[in-house]
Amino acid sequence: MQIDVLTLFPRMFEGILNESILKRAQENKKAKIKVHDLRRWTHDKRRTVDDKPYGGGPGMVIKPEPVYEACDALCRKNTHVILLTPQGRTFNQKIAWQLLKRKHILLICGHYEGFDERIRMLAKEEISIGDYVLTCGEVPALVVIDAVVRLISGVLGKESSLFSESFSDGLLEYPQYTRPRIFRGMDVPPVLLCGDHEKIEKWRRVQSLKKTKQNRKDLLNEDTT
């Protein structure tokens, strides 16, 4: 999979893309991630990417010219262009699995008061990571990259862990414990020590349902209750 990112702040990606799983995924050639400075596609001395909105109002709007020229240079026939914007559909694990099927993704990070509306014509879809306002689209882009890349076959040491995580079956993950067995008077549930895998799986299912009902009741439906 190849992921390109179009941004005004390329240095924001340096630390996260060069640590942990994302670093290993790139070193092992499971994912190719490139970050591009939008200002490369400007033609004035100030490298201007924004301007005042027509009709007045606060803030600045990203101009269409540099974004279109960047897409002309970076896009291929199968490129899936995504705008990171509050107006997009809310990102979740289901969307992450859908994006995994794409061979080439181009993430365009918003900033200021947003995009010139004509830029939306370039996008296959728009994605938001939640109903709140961030300074820029770089953080959402990193969220999408991390969520998708870790799903690539061979990226995680044990791929079976993908199917026991929160949201993998529509529920939050069950409680996890490790050594020591007793810590400050708190004991590990006896069922996890019994060696009966069927009982353990049933216990985990019940705990997932309880935790989901307590913290994210909106995820429950008739099939899971």
Which CATH number goes with the domain that contains 177?
Answer: 1.10.1270.20
Which CATH number goes with the domain that contains 121?
Answer: 3.40.1280.10
* Whether residues 142 and 210 fall in one domain: no
* Whether residues 140 and 174 fall in one domain: no
Average pLDDT per 10 consecutive residues for the chain, totaling 225 residues:
97 97 97 98 96 91 97 97 95 96 97 90 96 93 98 82 63 92 95 96 94 92 58
Is 57 in contact with 47 (CB distance < 8 Å)?
no
Total-model pTM: 0.87
Would 67 be classed as within a structural domain? yes
Would 224 be classed as within a structural domain? no
| Structure confidence at residue 170 (pLDDT) | 81
* Whether residues 213 and 125 fall in one domain: no
Structural domain containing residue 74? 2-149
127 exposed, middle or buried (CB, 10 Å; 0-12, 13-18, 19+)? buried
* Whether residues 134 and 187 fall in one domain: no
